[in-house]
Amino acid sequence: MILVTGGAGFIGANFVLDWLAQSDEPVLNLDKLTYAGNLENLASLQGDARHVFVHGDIGDAAMVAQLLAQHQPRAVLNFAAESHVDRSIHGPEDFIQTNVVGTMRLLQSARAYWQGLDEARRAEFRFLHVSTDEVYGSLEPTEAAFTETHKLEPNSPYSASKAASDHLVRAWHHTYGLPVLTTNCSNNYGPFHFPEKLIPLIIVNALAGKPLPVYGDGLQVRDWLYVKDHCSAIRRVLEAGRVGEIYNVGGWNEKPNIEIVHTVCALLDELRPKSDGSRYQTQITYVQDRPGHDRRYAIDASKIERELGWKPAETFESGIRKTVQWYLANPDWVAHVQSGAYREWVQTQYSGNETP
């Protein structure tokens, strides 16, 4: 069995679904079910004995210790995190509690469990920490992409909390010998993405006839990674990654945000044209830029390809088409995820921020 934390969220749920589609090894899924954790993401696993869900917090050391002792997993994969930059700007404390304190407590629980295993199982055990390229800071337009040796220069409360968790994972390996692996990924997109992030927000707002908010000039550059490619990379790192190493996971798809928005609009024009014949791009609205907005992220994913033979299967063109098609095919999921709290958040974040 493996223990997955945060397995009801966007990336975590995709990982659990992909894992059980390719393996009969059971998954113990621990999720706090905050606003972005959604059991509906895992509806297809109802009644599947291979999936054991527990509602709980990685910071609850007694509960985690009990789960580890009861289920005896061979690996812990930590997806649990607060992850939205805008929310971290408005309320950083939740990010410190989950991403820093929660990760530290999870590491302590995993360490105590690992130390109690017999020699063979100690050698097999892994703690895989899922992190982000945002810990590296921002790149100038002509700078080389982030490698695993790039220094950490986080610029938002979110990325600072993730950088802190990365340092803790490294320290628990070097100080205590805990067999850890860390992955730093670029911007994920795909099914089950909570519609506060760029791509699902644009899809949902476009279909609802609402403005499509674009920060500043829209020329912020990100590398885009289809979530199922990310899941395959994590499986590969767990399988064959060198203990103590960091692996950057990217899609080799650097694109400015405004190009992403235009691509989504064009796909919607094709797949769900408006009855009046107008184009979705007419809904684009430029809004005031977020404070301290990083200009460019780019991942150099050469190491994971060179050492582990992994590279993404999807191009951006194939992945974004699959993503738009998924949202069009799952209107009930979209409707259910848009709770009152979510609508209030979008209202607070974007209303009154329009720029001329």
> What contacts 277, CB < 8 A, 6 or more positions away?
none
Better-predicted residue by pLDDT, 355 or 330: 330
Buried b (16+ CB within 10 A) or exposed e, 134-147: bbbbbbeeeeebbe
Q: Show which residues are catalytic.
A: 133-134, 158
- Name the DSSP letter for residue 44: G
> What confidence score (pLDDT) does residue 344 get?
59
SS3 letters across 296-336: ECCECCHHHHHHHCCCCCCCHHHHHHHHHHHHHHCHHHHHH
Rounded mean pLDDT of 308-316? 98
Nearest Cα neighbor of 235 from 45, 77, 111, 125 is 77
**Token representation of residue 229:** 């490619």
pLDDT band, very low/low/confident/very high, at 339 (cuts 50, 70, 90): low
> What confidence score (pLDDT) does residue 168 get?
98
**Token representation of residue 284:** 């684009």
Residue identified by tokens 């649990």 is 80
**Token representation of residue 263:** 């691509």
Query: Looking at the predicted structure, is the pLDDT value of residue 273 above 90?
Result: yes
The percentage of the chain sitting over the pLDDT mark of 90, rounded to a whole number, equals: 87
> What confidence score (pLDDT) does residue 356 get?
37
H or E, element range at 105? helix 103-115
Q: Give pLDDT tens digits for 30-70.
A: 999 987 888 999 999 999 999 999 999 999 999 999 999 99
Q: Give pLDDT tens digits for 177-191.
A: 999 999 999 999 999
Q: Partners of 77 in the beta sheet?
A: 4, 128
Query: Looking at the predicted structure, is the pLDDT value of residue 17 above 90?
Result: yes
Domain ranges of the chain: 2-190+225-252+293-313
> What confidence score (pLDDT) does residue 342 get?
42
CA distances from 236 to 3, 187, 233, 255 (A): 16, 19, 5, 26
Mean pLDDT, all residues of the chain = 94
Rounded mean pLDDT of 241-249? 98
Range of weakest confidence among 69-73, 152-156, 291-295: 291-295
Report the CATH number of the 2-190+225-252+293-313 domain: 3.40.50.720
Longest dimension (CA), the chain: 68
> What confidence score (pLDDT) does residue 85 get?
85
